[in-house]
Amino acid sequence: MDWVLPLRSDTATLIFNGFTWLGYSAFFLIFLPLGYWFWDRAVMTRLAVLITITAVVNGWFKDFFHDPRPDIRYQLDAKRVAESYGLPSGHAQIATAMWLWIAHEIRKPWAMPLAVFIAAGVCFSRLYLGVHDVEDVLAGIALGLITLVIFGFLVSPRFKALHEARIQIHLGLIAAAMFLSLILWPDADGPGYVTAIFYLLFGWMAGAHLDRQQAPEKPVLPAWWLQVIMGVVGVVVLFVIRGVMIKAGTAAGLSAMTTSCATFGLLGFYMTFLAPWVFRRLGLMKQPA
């Protein structure tokens, strides 16, 4: 990793810290609900499923390889990675799958070059910050591409019946996947906090189902400046809920794992049902006449 040291500067560090932030949970807790509220509910639901699959696969391989990260003397992001394993890079894997899929959904000439640029920036940021070596990042990119191809097959018309199945079946599949992860996880301690991702998706899918029942058509949104206010307030409330849930879990004597799972489940439900319900009640989201 010595080759990365001459590349560093204050400006470059600021830029690549920005890129690497696109792979942390805070970003997803902002990006996913905003996309659901203001862009496309179906697209963001598919994206939530893809991110869940990719994150779980990444966690499985990390615990399978138990590959250490580069020496601490190279790391500029040591506090956030803590003692987690390095191979494969979760940032690289999720960024590759997520941004290329978004470009596929947008289907505009500019979308794919932009997606590649963002994904490449995230991938290189992990090398620049010294928290992954080249092998980690390349493995993450490869797994991201494999996940992307498999996911594209699963969302194809071949599985239309499954896509249109009742919500109980979808929730049952999430529960079954979570159960299988407990059985098949390579580490004796199990998937750990990866389990919370399943709860986020469970809450997301349950909320999205209720949201579609109440508002079947794509909502009519207010003026852009009102959307900005809605987004800011909605995201602030989300993080307030997260903080309150963590404090409540601690006060109740719940384990950190139980608190995390309950928190993420509620946040998923908030993103797709509670917040849109409030927006509709305030007249900020309307159904087409």
pLDDT of 78 above 80:
no
Please give the pLDDT value at position 124.
97
Closest CA to 129 of 176, 81, 95: 81
Task: Centre a 10 Å sphere on the Cβ of residue 119 and count the other Cβ atoms it contains.
Answer: 25
Closest CA to 91 of 155, 140, 43: 140
CB of 76 closer than 8 Å to CB of 14: no
Cα 196 from chain centroid? Answer: 11
Please give the pLDDT value at position 77.
82
Q: 2: pLDDT confidence band, cut at 50, 70 and 90?
A: confident
pLDDT of 92 above 90:
yes
Interval 204-232 mean pLDDT = 96
pLDDT of 129 above 90:
yes
The residue with greater pLDDT, 208 or 288, is 208
Render pLDDT for 27-77 as a digit per residue (tens, 0 to 9). Answer: 999 999 999 999 999 999 999 999 999 999 999 999 999 999 998 888 888
Please give the pLDDT value at position 1.
81
Q: Which amino acid is at 190?
A: G
Query: What is this structure's pTM?
Result: 0.94
Closest CA to 181 of 169, 168, 194: 194
Render pLDDT for 143-188 as a digit per residue (tens, 0 to 9). Answer: 999 999 999 999 999 999 999 999 999 999 999 999 999 999 998 8
> Over the chain, what is the mean pLDDT?
94
Domains annotated for the chain, with CATH where assigned, are: 2-164 (1.20.144.10), 202-289 (no CATH)
Q: 112: pLDDT confidence band, cut at 50, 70 and 90?
A: very high
Q: 213: pLDDT confidence band, cut at 50, 70 and 90?
A: very high
